[in-house]
Structure 1
Amino acid sequence: MTLSKKMINAQMMDCNADLFRCPVCLSEMTMVDKSRLVCMTNHSFDLSKNGYVNLAPQAHVTKYDQSLFEARKTVMTSGFFDGVLEALVSTVETHAHAVILDAGCGEGSHLSTIVERLTGDVTGVGIDLSKEGITAAAKEYPGLIWSVADLANCPFQNDKFDAILNVLSPANYGEFTRLLKPGGLFVKAVPESGYLKELRAIFYEDKGQKDDADPVARVAEHFDAVSTERVTYTFPLAEGLLAPLIQMTPLTWGASADKIEEALQMAISEITIDFTIISGVNREGTGQCLVE
């Protein structure tokens, strides 16, 4: 008998229910009838028809809607991000990685690819505040654990994760150090000045964006043995790929329809990928809530 995607996801959640804590009262949780997570004080959270659980205490509206995640899936399945994913896999592969959290997982493609490429038995957990992103992840990538959740109140017990990934997403270092096991690995991917520079030249008219934050220094405040790796390459844009790329990137949010049409008509043949992969080792496993 072939299991449904919902049941595959439910079984994974059931086997790993000890990871969770109630986002309301912070007590332990158990899976009941492979259909809902229930805490010690009887707060109950049903699995969706796609097999994810919504553990965000309050509803949130984000700019990340279904059409954006469809565009992102189109771009990611083209191999656009493969060089960065290879670097992430290489970084995580050097560490014990039985349980991995992708904090800000979007539609799940990064986490799914990384778990698939790692050797050994790996449990992947993806969280995002966007319900649309988690819905897409649960549908497309069964066999991992997917949850709508807030980085400021992660619904997991202390010291449960061997590695945390934070790719193109805000960071909450207090929560990350709390969730990681002592000696656990934190890996953050941040865009550098060359990232999508062909689009920046159009939408920012070469003015660039000023960012005074130093992500390496921020990571070093909370983690030991911090190291960096620069990943830079150009990716050829096949016909039809420019439009979803423009749709998925925040670079173009707020741009006029005329400006977007101008970019589409420029027939950009390749795009630059430029990231720094920052990694560090957790020193304690607990921390204060500091949002970046």
Structure 2
Amino acid sequence: MIIPFQALVCPLDGARLHCNGSAWRCAAGHTFDVASQGYTHLLPVQQKRSRDPGDSKEMVAARRRFLNAGPYQPIAAAVGRMALAGVEAKAALSCLDAGCGEGYYLRQLAAACGEGQTLELLGLDISKWAVLSAAKQDKRPNWVVGSNANLPVFSGTLDRVLCMFGFPVYPEFARVLKPSGVLLQVDSGPDHLRELREIIYPTLKPERSGEMPTPEGFVRQSSETVRYRLDLSGSEQIGDLLAMTPHLYRASAEGRAKAAALTALPVTVDVRLNAFLRQPALA
């Protein structure tokens, strides 16, 4: 069963929010409307760094087309296995996707939920276009516009936090996780999309070697590498992959033109999945 995560707090004063019809309200009277598409904007103006932060409407559309076609499904499957490992058949699990984008990985996690299990799901992204797209595709989770730096979530209320190719804010992740909660973080490996990067950049920067450091407040639980060959077909699919990554803006005009001329490209998918257990606070 998939249900929306409800333990939200007011981003202005930290008081509990209660959903009343088409709006969330706190005791002080701060009100946040639920949009007709089913998401809520919980990012105050003072927490924005730009007028329209996060991924653009075009980037979100590219990501939606690319991911819904299934090329990254092995990554989603690995995340689902790790997130649900050891969870009892009748258990309830609360999960936040911090930087959810258009919701692909949260939808895949929902699909992996076992019969009898209950998932309370919350998707959060700083891009209103991403959250809008996510809410249109699946009405079951709670979708909010917000920031990883100021999660509108009560402390110690989540069993899982996902951070998929995103911007981790470890103190906030540790704050909202239960003492037994787990952070699942996915990052690019050294060979991820190497073939595309070799085309759009004159030279590649040296890759960082070694295992990702364990963030403060956590202990490493497990690690997994997901690696496979992906055959991209058609200029649209190649363009969508480039458009949904930071490489679109880092590449030169010449590099983008080279990518746009491609009609087929085999690339290596190489990602690292780390599970970090939240350390209990010292007495």
- Same fold per superposition (TM over 0.5): yes
The TM-score with structure 1 as length reference comes to 0.86
Kindly report which structure 2 residues correspond to 1:108-119, keeping only aligned pairs within 5 A, or say none.
Answer: 108-119=103-114
Is 2:18 the partner of 1:30? yes
Amino acid of the structure 2 residue aligned with 1:38: R
Q: Which position in structure 2 is the counterpart of 1:290?
A: none
**Equivalent residue of 2:118, what SS?**
coil
CA deviation vs aligned residue, 1:197-228 (integer Å, no higher than 9, x gap): 0111012223225558x773143x32124321
Aligned residues: 270
Amino acid at match of 2:8: F
Whole-angstrom CA distance in 1 between matches of 2:56 and 2:281: 34
Partner of 2:60: 69
Asked if the contact 1:52–1:146 (Cα under 8 Å) also holds between the matched residues in 2, the reply is: yes
Change (3 A) 1:186 1:254: closer
- Quote the Cα distance in structure 1 between the aligned partners of 2:247 and 2:171: 28
Percent identity reads 26
The match for 2:167 is 170
Aligned mates of 1:217, 1:137 — CA distance in 2:
31
Structure ranking higher in strand proportion: 2
Q: Could you tell me which amino acid in structure 2 is paired with residue 190 of structure 1?
A: D
Structure 2 distance, partners of 1:128, 1:111, is: 12
Task: Choose 240-249 or 90-99, whichever is displaced more.
Answer: 90-99
Question: Does structure 1 residue 85 correspond to structure 2 residue 73?
Answer: no
- Unpaired segments ≥5 residues, structure 1: 1-8, 287-292
> Partner residue of 1:251?
247
Whole-Å separation in 2 of the counterparts to 1:169 and 1:263: 24
1:44 is aligned to 31
Q: 8 Å contact 2:220–2:274 — kept in the other structure?
A: no
| Alignment match, 1:229 | 224
Which residue identity lines up with residue 213 of structure 2 in the other structure? A
Q: Is the 8 A contact 1:158 1:285 kept in 2?
A: no
Question: Judging changes above 3 Å, is the alpha-carbon distance between structure 1 residues 269 and 207 closer, same or farther for their aligned structure 2 residues?
Answer: closer
Change (3 A) 1:95 1:102: farther
Code of the aligned partner of 2:126? L
Deviation at 1:261, TM superposition (A): 2.1
Distance 1:79 1:248 in 2: 15
Aligned Cα root-mean-square deviation (Å): 2.1
Point out where structure 2 has 5 or more consecutive residues left out of the alignment: none
Q: Which has the higher helix share?
A: 1
Q: Deviations over 1:165-194 (max 9, x none)?
A: 000001111111111111111100010111
Q: Residue 91 of structure 1 aligns to which amino acid in structure 2?
A: M
5 Å matches for 1:1-292?
16-17=5-6, 19-32=7-20, 34-58=21-45, 59=48, 60=50, 61-62=52-53, 64-96=55-87, 98-119=93-114, 120-208=117-205, 211=208, 216-219=212-215, 221-239=216-234, 240-284=236-280
TM-score scaled to structure 2, two decimals?
A: 0.89
* Cα drift, residue 263 of structure 1: 1.6
